[in-house]
Amino acid sequence: MDTTRRTRAVRHALAFVFWTLLALSYALSAGLSSLSEGRSPDWPRALAWNLANFWLWMAFVPLIAWLGRQAAGAGWQRFCAVHVPAGLLVALTQMMAQLFVFWTLCGPGHAPVHTFAGFVGMQFAYNYHLSLLTYWLILVVLRGLESRRRLRDEQWRSSQLEVQLAQSQLQALRMQLQPHFLFNTLNAISALALAEPLRARLMIARLSDFLRMTLEQRHAQQVPLSREVEFLRCYLDIQQVRFQDRLSTRLDMAEDTLHAAVPSMILQPLVENALRHGLLAKTEPGSLHIASHREGQLLRLRVDDDGLGLPPEGPTEGLGLGNTRARLDVLFGAAASMELTRNAGGGTRVELCFPFREHVA
């Protein structure tokens, strides 16, 4: 039996149990009511009446659900045109079927009638009114369940679209990083190959590590911060060869943040931005400080440089920063933020803030 058929069988079994329990509870109520009035309860008639009533309604549920779908979202005129006559007809059919089954199984009992027509005439007003109410109650419940299912499906599709968007942004980030990064790195290795072969070999090893980690994380939407730091160290080791003594770096990652789940490659664009726009054109040696800490349920990541700082007209966001902000928005919505500010001593600070969550492998 495939999953769909198994799910359908379970659903039918649950529906049967639900309607049967409902019938038994009504039969029990009728018996207890007789006992409270000092009469002996007629359990067979109570069971026959309520089981016939609720099992018949169980059989009509698919029809009412189909009628509900026919009039859904088509306005009140169509809704009334479908359900007013359908409700009258379904309620009448169910009531007549219930009375017939009960009459066939139990007969008139103590009722002052001797024919089925007389029994229908005696029961018609009360039971038809009750059947009409039951039809509309079932319709409301089914439409509510259908609305809930549609809302859940829409939320699932929305979350899938958000994941796809985040993945496409991550892929775009990798495509933007690797070509020019590889070009610059290979040029630096070429320049070092003869003059400083040991440093050239070290740079090749770090480049190999960098590419391996990029491949390992190519499908990961989020990684532990410790993994992101490892990736960043590899990237900085390569950049250190380019900058040589002109760059000093410091990583202060709080111990309780290393298992936090962070978007893959979330720090590298910020560091690259600081190197390219803040420190590369600076004549004096520069420094880069990367830190993390936890504030309650929030994780804060910070990249500080003492480079040229923000332009006088204010910060401008290129592809790297814009992509980072968009990824945070997709993954965390309003719960995340990214701020660019001037450092008091010169340079720029970029700070990311988003909900703290333990990474689950």
Give the pLDDT band (50/70/90) at residue 105.
very high
The pLDDT tens digits for 264-301 are 888 888 888 888 888 877 778 888 999 999 998 999 99
The pLDDT tens digits for 198-207 are 778 887 888 8
Q: What is the pLDDT of residue 169?
A: 64
CA–CA dist 84, 94 (Å, integer): 15
Is residue 287 within a helix (H) or strand (E), and if so which, with residue range?
strand 286-295
Contact residues for 149 (Cβ-Cβ < 8 A; gap 6+): none
Contact residues for 356 (Cβ-Cβ < 8 A; gap 6+): 257, 260, 294, 296, 297, 298, 299
DSSP 94-117: HHHHHHHHHHHHH--TTSS--SHH
Residue type at 94?
A: Q
Torsion of CA 212, 214, 219, 223, to 10 degrees: 100
Residue type at 143?
A: R
Q: What is the pLDDT of residue 165?
A: 67
Q: What average pLDDT does the segment 40-67 reach? A: 92
Structure tokens of 329? 């928005």
CA–CA dist 90, 102 (Å, integer): 18
User: What domains appear along the chain, each with residue ranges and CATH number?
Assistant: 1-173 (no CATH), 179-355 (3.30.565.10)
The pLDDT tens digits for 208-240 are 888 787 777 666 778 899 988 988 888 888 888
Q: What is the pLDDT of residue 281?
A: 76
